[in-house]
Amino acid sequence: MQRILIPTDFSDNAWNALKYGLELFKKTRCTFFLLHVNPIPPYSGAGTAVREASENYRESLLKDSSKNLQKLIGQIEKLPFNTKHTYETIAVHDYFLDTIKRESTEKKIDLIIMGTKGASGLKKATIGSNTGDAITKIKCPLLAVPGEAVYSNLKEIAFPTDYHINYDLRVLNTLISMAVLHNATVRVLHLAKQEGELNEEQIKNKEFLNDYLVDIAHSFHSLSGRDLDSAVQCFTESRDIDMIAMVAKNLNFFQRILFRPTVEQISYHTKVPFLVLHE
């Protein structure tokens, strides 16, 4: 059974991410943990009376959060999804990242699903938003769902790589599981600033991928040039890619390609979810 953590702030983006996750796993028995975090404000150094007032405020926050989470369950129950899903709600008053780390470990989470705010939101996610912090600082597979993403049958998964990292089997298992679940094809996309032959290390890593994906429909592609962001966009659109999977170790490389400041020039990632794979 899949155990999936979905943090929510009850926004439209969070609701879209939740719906996407329900659709993505509609044929699978899952437990969804719906989490709302009320962030702790900076310590003020106040006295006992203020601390007591703060405790009352905390209790009020958690009570409201619990009510809103139950309303969310009510919304979910109105959706035309299967009954293989069960739900647990979690309301806390704590630091966001600490909570995600703790719940991921204690609940033995297989995947975190979080919403982003489209192109600019995803760009910001690389430099300090909740989603970006979770992507880079929490060692758990995470699916970032842009606000404009609309679920369709998962048929094509792009897997960009520079072949410069050794692939841990635990990293690839999430990718394999996603492809098997949806009978999807994995498109391995080699990206390089300059065209040229692969070195010995890169060839070895490519051969490893080919062997590991032997039971999965897959193909290898290559793009090179200075304008890689546009090239990736063309590849994504021409192949009708439904999801992009990235290994967390490669994030610095792909941030330069996928999250450049000229957001208006790259529109594909406003609708394509990103699956970030961790060891």
Pick the CATH number of 156-277 from 3.30.230.10, 1.10.10.1100, 3.30.10.20, 3.40.50.620: 3.40.50.620
pTM for the predicted model, two decimal places? 0.86
What whole-number distance in Å separates Cα of residue 220 and Cα of residue 17? 30
- Residue holding tokens 């899952």? 30
Domain regions of the chain by residue span: 2-145, 156-277
Pick the CATH number of 2-145 from 2.30.42.10, 3.10.290.20, 3.40.50.620, 3.40.50.2300: 3.40.50.620
According to the model, what pLDDT value does residue 179 have? 96
First-last CA distance in the chain: 20
Tell me whether the CATH fold assigned to 2-145 matches the one assigned to 156-277: yes
SS3 64: helix
Contacts of residue 171, defined as CB under 8 A and 6 or more positions apart, other chains included, come to: 247, 277, 278, 279
Which tens digits make up the pLDDT trace of 72-93?
999 999 988 767 899 999 999 9
According to the model, what pLDDT value does residue 54 have? 76
pLDDT band (50, 70, 90) for residue 118: very low
Beta-bridged to residue 185, according to DSSP, are 156
